[in-house]
Structure 1
Amino acid sequence: MDGNYLVILVSATIILPLALMRQLGYLGYSSGFSLTCMVFFLVAVIYKKFQVPCPLLSTSANITSNSSLGEGTPPLGETFSSDSCTPNYFTLNIQTAYTIPIMAFAFVCHPEVLPIYTELKDPSRRKMQHISNLSIAVMYVMYFLAALFGYLTFYGSWLRHVVIAVSLLTCINLLVIFAPNILGIFGIIGATSAPCLIFIFPAIFYFRIVPTEREPAKSTPKILALCFAVLGFLMMTMSLSFIIIDWVSGTSRSGGSH
C-alpha cells in the first residue's frame, strides 16, 4: 500500500474518532496502545543498531529502501567513510538550530495538564505533580534511547469542534504527504510553538493573572517572569533565524550532519 494512502486511512479510521471524544478518560486504552508502539519502535531501533554493519556497503537494495536519504547515499558499490561510524559527542553547525526546537516540541505537554487534572479520581496538586514527573521521565528515557541508538472538551457546539478536528487532520495529512522534508516542519513548529508554550505564555499569564495587590509589577517574581518571556522570544528569534538561513543557503539538502 502506498504510504500516502496509509496516512489518510489511519487518520480517518483511528485518529479522527479519538479526536472527537468528549472526555480524556476514554483515551486510556489508546494511550496504552500508543505507548506500546513507542516501546516497539525503541526496541526495533536498538536491535537494528547491532544488525546494520558499519561502514555500510551501498547495494541496490539499500538504495531502494533508503531512497529518502537523497544525496547522502553514496554511489552503488562504494562504502561510507569510516569517519561516519565514529560517534560525535557534540556537533555544532547550522543545523543545530533544529535541535532545541525539536527537543522542546517533544516535551510540550502544558495544554494537557488541566484536562488530565479534571479527569483524576481524587485530584490534588501532589498527585498531578507525581503524574507529570513520571510521564516526563518515561518519555525522556524513551526519546533519549531512541535518539541514542538511532542517531516523539466538547459541549453543545459539537459541529464546530468536528470541523476544527477534520480541518487540522486534513492540513496535517497534506503536510505529511507533500512536504519534502519533515525536519523543516518540526523545526518551524518547534521554534514557534515550543517557546510560546514553555516560556512566553506561562510567564505572561503569571504576570497578568497575579493581582498587583498581591505582587507589585516590580516584584522579583514578576520581573523574573518577564525575563523568562524575553528568553523565550530570544530563543524563538534565534531558532527561526538559523532555520531560515539554513533554507536559503541550502545546507539542509547537502547531507550535512546534525
Structure 2
Amino acid sequence: MMRSESEIESELSEESALIPRDVTEHQGSSHASFASSVFNIMHAIMGSGILGLAYAMSSTGIIGFSLLLLVVAILAAYSVHLLLELCEQTELTSYEDLGFYAFKTTGKVMVAGAILIQNIGAMSSYLFIIKSELPAAIAGFLHHNYIGTPWYLNGQILLLITVVCIVLPLALLPKIEFLGYTSGLSILFMVYFAIVVETEPVIVKKWFIPCPLFNGTMNYVQDFSSDECKPKLLQISAKSVYAIPILAFSFLCHTSVLPIYCELQRPSKSKMQKAVNVGITLSFSVYMLSALFGYLTFYGKVDSQLLHSYSQYLPQDVVIMSVRICILFSVLLTVPLIHFPARKAFKLLLFSNRPFTWLHHIAVTLVIQTAIVLLAMYVPNIQNIFGVVGSTTSTALLFIYPGLFYLQISGEPLKSLKKLKALGLIILGCLSGAVSLPVIIITWLHTENEA
C-alpha cells in the first residue's frame, strides 16, 4: 500500500519521539573504511557457531551441507539487501526502528524480543564453551592424574568464578566504549583461531588422527576402507534438522549491519551491499574449510562442539591447547559486548521511555547474567542452544523480519518481483522453523529421558 509523504513524515516524527535516543545517536559519529566495515561484518558473523558446522556437515553429508551453506549465505546477503533498501527508503538506522515503522509498538517488541533471545542464546553458547573447555585447558597444563574431580577442574565452579570476576564487572559498565580494548583483544584471539584452526589443527592434524576411532579412543591402525572412514556425500537423519538452525545462527549479522552502515565512510547502499557480500563470502570460505576438515577428521564421531573432539583425541597437543586458550579468551571478552545490545533490547521492552538509573541498569544486568549462566550450566549440549535459538530468533531475524518489513513498508505493488522474493523469504523462514523446532525439542526430550 502506497503512503503519502505527509504520512511518512508523521510516522517518522512519532517514531523519533518513542524510540530511545541511544538507538540513533550513533549515526554519523565516525567514518569507517570499506576494509574495516568488511572486518566488522565478519566479526559480527563469526562466533561460536563455527564450532558446530562440522557436526552439521556430519548430519547432512558434504554435498548436502555445501548446498545448504551456499543457500543460507545467499539468502543472508539478500535479506541484508532488503534491510538496506528499507533503510534508504525510510532514513532509519536500526532494526528496532524498522520494526516500529512497519508495525508500531508490535514491530518494536518483535525485533527487541528476538534480539534479546538471540543474544542470550549466543552468550550462553559462549559460557557453555568456557564451562566445557576451561577445565580441559587447566588439566592440559597441569599434567596430573586425579582421583575424583578437584574444584579447579569443575566446569560449573570455574564458570561461576569467571562470570563473577570478569564477565559481570565488564557487563556492568554503563557505556560500550569502555570495552574498546577488550573488543580488540577478542578480535585478535578470534583471528588467531580462524587462521590456526583452518591450517594446523584442522588441515594438518587431519592426517595425524587415525581412522577409525573406537569408543572415544584412537585406533592406530589406519583403515580407510571402513564405513566409518568414508565421507557421506548426502545424508538425512534426525540430526539433519540441526543443520539449517546452526547455519542461521552462524550467518546472523543483521542487527549489526545498519550501525556499520551508518559508520561507513561516504555511505551508500551499493557500497554497503558490496561490503556485506565480501564479508559473507569470506565467512563462507572459513566456514566451509572448518566444517570440511573437521568432518573429514572425525567423520560421524565429530562432536557438536568441534574443539571438544580435538581435545578428546589430542589432549596434550600444544597447538590445540593454544587454540583452546585463544577461544576461551575470545568468548570470555565477547560476552560483555553481546550483553550491551541484549540489555538495550530488554530495557526497550520494559523501560522504553524511562531515563537511565543505576537500579534498572544493575537489575537488568543481573537478570540477564543469571539466565545465561543457568542455560550454560544445565543445557546438556551446545547443539541444543544452536538448534533452539537458530530455529526461532535467528530464523526470524535472518529470513522472516526482513521480508515482512519489506512487504509492509515498501511502496511497490504486491506482485512486484522484489515483494514476491520477500514473501518467499518469509515462507522459507517459517517452514524452516516449523519443521526444525519440534524435531529438535522432541530429540532433546528423548535424549534426556534416555539419560
State the TM-score, normalized to the length of structure 2. 0.45
The worse-fitting range, judged by mean Cα deviation, of 120-129 and 180-189 is 120-129
Matched with 1:172 is: 372
Task: Give, in angstroms, the shift of residue 47 of structure 1.
Answer: 3.2
Q: 1:40 aligns with which of 170, 175, 196?
A: 196
Identical pairs, percent? 36
Secondary structure, aligned partner of 1:180: coil
Distance 1:92 1:223 in 2: 30
Task: Give, in angstroms, the shift of residue 196 of structure 1.
Answer: 0.4
Matched with 2:112 is: none
Return the structure number with greater helix share: 2
Distance 1:83 1:143 in 2: 26
Task: Give, in angstroms, the shift of residue 227 of structure 1.
Answer: 3.4
Asked whether the 8 Å contact 2:171–2:365 carries over to 1, the reply is no
Asked whether the 8 Å contact 2:248–2:390 carries over to 1, the reply is yes
Secondary structure, aligned partner of 2:429: helix
Matched with 1:237 is: 434
Asked whether the 8 Å contact 2:252–2:398 carries over to 1, the reply is yes
Asked whether the 8 Å contact 2:170–2:179 carries over to 1, the reply is no
> Are residues 1:144 and 2:288 paired?
yes
Task: Give, in angstroms, the shift of residue 231 of structure 1.
Answer: 2.2
> Are residues 1:193 and 2:393 paired?
yes
Matched with 2:238 is: 94
Secondary structure, aligned partner of 2:289: helix
Task: Give, in angstroms, the shift of residue 6 of structure 1.
Answer: 4.0
1:53-92 to 2 correspondence within 5 Å? 53-56=210-213, 82-92=226-236
What do residues 143-182 of structure 1 show as CA deviations (whole Å, max 9, x unaligned)? 211111212977x637445654553343223222222122
Secondary structure, aligned partner of 1:101: helix
Q: Aligned pair in 2 of structure 1 residues 149, 5: CA closer, same or farther (>3 Å)?
A: farther
Distance 1:50 1:186 in 2: 29
Matched with 2:271 is: 127
The worse-fitting range, judged by mean Cα deviation, of 164-173 and 131-140 is 164-173
Task: Give, in angstroms, the shift of residue 186 of structure 1.
Answer: 1.0
Matched with 1:222 is: 419
Asked whether the 8 Å contact 1:24–1:116 carries over to 2, the reply is no
The worse-fitting range, judged by mean Cα deviation, of 229-238 and 41-50 is 41-50
Matched with 1:247 is: 444
Secondary structure, aligned partner of 1:49: helix
Asked whether the 8 Å contact 1:217–1:223 carries over to 2, the reply is yes
State the TM-score, normalized to the length of structure 1. 0.73
Task: Give, in angstroms, the shift of residue 252 of structure 1.
Answer: 11
Distance 2:278 2:162 in 1: 29
Matched with 1:4 is: 156
Distance 1:185 1:113 in 2: 24
Distance 2:421 2:288 in 1: 30
1:18-37 to 2 correspondence within 5 Å? 20=173, 21-23=175-177, 26=180, 27-37=183-193
Q: 1:182 aligns with which of 374, 382, 386?
A: 382
Task: Give, in angstroms, the shift of residue 249 of structure 1.
Answer: 4.9
- In the alignment, structure 2 segments of 5+ residues that lack a partner are 1-151, 296-304, 306-340, 345-354
The worse-fitting range, judged by mean Cα deviation, of 236-245 and 12-21 is 12-21
Distance 1:199 1:175 in 2: 26
Q: Aligned pair in 2 of structure 1 residues 142, 52: CA closer, same or farther (>3 Å)?
A: same
Instruction: Look up the equivalent residue of 1:40 and give its one-letter code.
Output: V
Task: Give, in angstroms, the shift of residue 232 of structure 1.
Answer: 1.4
Matched with 1:206 is: 406
Instruction: Look up the equivalent residue of 2:256 and give its one-letter code.
Output: E
Distance 2:280 2:449 in 1: 30
Instruction: Look up the equivalent residue of 2:201 and give its one-letter code.
Output: A
Secondary structure, aligned partner of 2:380: coil
- In the alignment, structure 1 segments of 5+ residues that lack a partner are 64-72
Task: Give, in angstroms, the shift of residue 238 of structure 1.
Answer: 0.8
After superposition, the CA RMSD in angstroms is: 3.7
Distance 2:362 2:404 in 1: 30
Asked whether the 8 Å contact 1:200–1:232 carries over to 2, the reply is yes
Secondary structure, aligned partner of 1:215: coil
Secondary structure, aligned partner of 2:176: coil
Secondary structure, aligned partner of 2:213: coil
